[in-house]
């Protein structure tokens, strides 16, 4: 059978030969003592990239969010963020379990909330209401289909947060996708934020790791929580080297992923039974509904995988997600489009074989 084309997530990349070489050759030491030169170099690089004083290498993006929330919140307080945000949907209730924090979901199209909606929630300040701890923004939005927060949208939300003395946190899992798509630097995007992190394991193609950046004081405290959460490592230069390699070699090529997503989306628009929900396609994520095929999203994805070795991700009963990344070539996108076309022509109107 043909090779698997995995569009289920941009976490499905494998380290490239060049990245593996960089990892094998990494100079290492004890990270917990601040003596791993490669980890230190990655932290310095990300601090500079995001325009912050210091940065901290962590095992995962989820830990970046959880440590930032612990930094900014006290038990019983609430974090304000979009209702589809990763910490609400996919972090196993971490904010409640680890830090005693609750999460206030804000509405809005494409994973973004408005300054007005944020302000409306912050006006509730009687003794009955939870105190707000921080405001969190996802760049780009995952469940919002890779949408980019514009500088104007960020400024409006940042003004409300500042007026209420609230720290502003960026879940920058895909910040570099926004940077490449807009030409706006990571530091410029992050300027109004008190904490920001980038994931190394999404489009950047690393096997492990994410880096949280903030003021020197906040990062010093974050290191304490890194120990507390069990995330402090030893010779982490082996994996930090992958991050440095990715920042050198895998950033500008994210533009290819965006072109691939647009090509896939445009092709899907001409196919029967499906409806593209991500409009416009801004980066590397495309959501589409399969309600018109007579199949549920999980059945659709199972059968497409079985018949043509193209993997997509079911999100709920009718919605499917396709994500482009480093391991998906021009030819893979054409092959996936062909496979979808064949499959959809056969399954039109529920007459699936
Ligand atoms: C993947 C992701 C995370 C979590 O990152 P991990 O490195 O998988 O822990 C957090 N936020 C967003 C928006 C993500 O897409």
Give the model confidence (pLDDT) of 11-36 as tens digits: 999 999 999 999 999 999 999 999 99
Q: Is the CB of 60 under 6 A from ligand 1?
A: yes
Residues 138-174, buried b or exposed e (16+ Cβ, 10 A)? bbbbbbbbbbbbeeebbeebbebbeeeebbbbbbbbb
**Token pair for residue 325?**
């990344």
How high is the pLDDT of residue 90?
A: 96
How far does the centroid of ligand 1 lie from the alpha carbon of residue 208, in Å? 12
Q: Which atom of ligand 1 is nearest to the CA of 209?
A: 7
Q: Which atom of ligand 1 is nearest to the CA of 171?
A: 11
Euclidean distance between CA atoms 136 and 214, whole angstroms: 14
Determine how many CB atoms are found less than 10 A away from the CB of residue 97: 11
How high is the pLDDT of residue 160?
A: 98
Q: Which atom of ligand 1 is nearest to the CA of 62?
A: 9
Query: What is the DSSP secondary structure assignment for residue 125, as one 8-state letter?
Result: -
Q: Whose CA is nearest to atom 11 of ligand 1?
A: 86
Q: Is the CB of 210 under 6 A from ligand 1?
A: yes
pTM: 0.96
Share in percent of the chain as helix, strand, coil (round to 5) = 45, 15, 40
Euclidean distance between CA atoms 71 and 136, whole angstroms: 13
CB neighbour list of residue 217: distance below 8 Å, 6 or more residues apart:
none
How high is the pLDDT of residue 1?
A: 61
Q: Whose CA is nearest to atom 7 of ligand 1?
A: 61
Which of 8, 79, 91, 199 is the pocket-test mutation for ligand 1 (most atoms within 8 Å of CB)? 199
Cα–Cα distance list, 12 to 135, 254, 340 (Å): 30, 15, 20
Q: What percent of the chain lies above the pLDDT cut of 70? A: 98
How high is the pLDDT of residue 353?
A: 47
How far does the centroid of ligand 1 lie from the alpha carbon of residue 143, in Å? 11
- Positions in the chain whose pLDDT score sits under 70: 1, 348-353
How high is the pLDDT of residue 177?
A: 98
How high is the pLDDT of residue 2?
A: 80
Which of 11, 85, 90, 242 is the pocket-test mutation for ligand 1 (most atoms within 8 Å of CB)? 90
pLDDT digits (tens, 9 = 90+) for 284-322: 999 999 999 999 999 999 999 999 999 999 999 999 999
Euclidean distance between CA atoms 261 and 7, whole angstroms: 10
Query: 273's torsion region: left (phi>0), alpha (psi -120 to 50) or beta?
Result: left
Euclidean distance between CA atoms 332 and 328, whole angstroms: 6
Q: Is the CB of 144 under 6 A from ligand 1?
A: no
Burial class (CB in 10 A: 0-12, 13-18, 19+), 4: middle
């Amino acid at each position: 059978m043909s090779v698997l084309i995995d569009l289920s997530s941009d976490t499905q990349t494998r380290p490239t030969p060049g990245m593996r070489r960089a990892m094998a050759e990494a100079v290492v030491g004890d990270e917990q003592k601040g003596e791993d030169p490669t980890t230190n170099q990655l932290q310095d690089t990300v601090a500079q990239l995001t325009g912050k004083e210091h940065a901290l290498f962590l095992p995962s993006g989820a830990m970046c969010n959880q440590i930032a929330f612990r930094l900014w919140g006290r038990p019983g307080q609430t974090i304000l963020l979009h209702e589809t945000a990763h910490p609400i949907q996919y972090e196993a209730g971490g904010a409640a379990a680890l830090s005693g924090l609750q999460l206030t979901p804000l509405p809005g199209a494409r994973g973004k909330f408005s300054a007005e909606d944020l302000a409306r929630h912050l006006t509730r300040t009687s003794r009955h209401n939870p105190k707000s701890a921080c405001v969190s923004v996802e760049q780009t939005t995952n469940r919002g289909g890779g949408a980019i927060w514009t500088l104007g949208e960020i400024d409006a939300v940042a003004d409300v947060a500042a007026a209420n003395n609230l720290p502003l946190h960026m879940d920058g899992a895909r910040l570099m996708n926004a940077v490449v798509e807009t030409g706006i630097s990571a530091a410029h995007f992050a300027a109004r934020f008190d904490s920001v992190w980038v994931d190394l394991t999404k489009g950047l193609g690393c096997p492990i790791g994410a880096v949280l950046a903030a003021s020197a004081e906040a990062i010093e405290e974050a290191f304490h929580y890194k120990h507390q959460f069990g995330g402090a490592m030893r010779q982490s230069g082996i994996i930090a080297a992958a991050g440095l390699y990715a920042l050198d070699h895998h950033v500008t090529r994210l533009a290819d992923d965006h072109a691939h997503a647009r090509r896939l989306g445009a092709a899907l628009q001409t196919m029967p039974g499906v409806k593209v929900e991500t409009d416009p396609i801004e980066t590397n994520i495309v959501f589409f509904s399969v309600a018109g095929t007579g199949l549920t999203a999980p059945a659709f994805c199972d059968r497409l995988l079985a018949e043509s070795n193209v993997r997509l991700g079911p999100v709920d009963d009718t919605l499917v997600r396709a994500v482009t990344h480093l391991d998906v070539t021009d030819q893979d996108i054409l092959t996936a489009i062909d496979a979808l076309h064949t499959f959809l022509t056969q399954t039109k109107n529920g007459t699936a074989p």
